Amino acid sequence: MDYIKTLTIITLGYLYYIFFKLLLLTVNLRIVNQPGRSALENGSIYFASWHGNLIASTVAFQKTFISMQNPITLIVADNFGGRVYGFAYQKIREFNVVYLELDNLISSFKKIKKILNENKSVAMTADGPKAPRHVLRRGSLAVMKQQPTILASVNYAVPVSLFWRWDKMVVPLPFSSLTVKFSDPAVVTDEELIKVVLSS
């Protein structure tokens, strides 16, 4: 059974990797407000976006921060879907992938803080990997209150929506336009402000 599951993850991971590479090669990315390079030189930045924007925001991170000194560490759930995403993202040299059991809040928070303390940058969705949609998870908010954070708002010209998911995952199409706006790095404490910036 484990063999079948592993084979399925690898197969789906390769397919997603091919699709992701196609997006990287063809999507027309427009940056509205890119943080200054000096803010990123030392790493240790926390990136956050909504879970429904997972694919698009990851495209934006790769295309925007490709020249960062340290790769961005993507935090993904240690479950079937997270393993598929992680398998694909591990093949992109600008990303490191760390799997977390995100139901264990204290353990996850400590691991994220350890990565940031190692002067590395971390990216994770603020409301995922489980419902409800657009409700900040306590761990994400706790990191934002302690760590310089960049919030990513993403908009699409031609998206495909997967409405059967709790997060209404929205996926950009190849050769479409993708607009992303990054906030300035800051320690963010206002929960309502976070929601406004991520949704703008």
pTM across the whole model: 0.91
Residue 57 has pLDDT above 90, yes or no: yes
Q: Percent of the chain scored above 70 by pLDDT?
A: 95
For helices 80-89 and 2-26, what crossing angle results, to 10°?
50
Residue 191 has pLDDT above 60, yes or no: yes
Structure-model confidence comparison of residues 70 and 37, the more confident one: 70
Q: pLDDT tens digit string along 104-137?
A: 778 888 899 999 999 889 999 999 888 888 999 8
The confidence score (pLDDT) of residue 105 equals 75
| Rounded Cα distance, 87 and 13, in Å | 5
The confidence score (pLDDT) of residue 188 equals 93
Q: Percent of the chain scored above 90 by pLDDT?
A: 60
Q: pLDDT tens digit string along 138-152?
A: 889 999 999 999 999
- In terms of Cα–Cα distance, which of 72, 67, 84, 76 is closest to 18? 84
| Rounded Cα distance, 128 and 125, in Å | 6
The confidence score (pLDDT) of residue 73 equals 93
In this structure, the chain runs to a length of: 200
The confidence score (pLDDT) of residue 1 equals 55
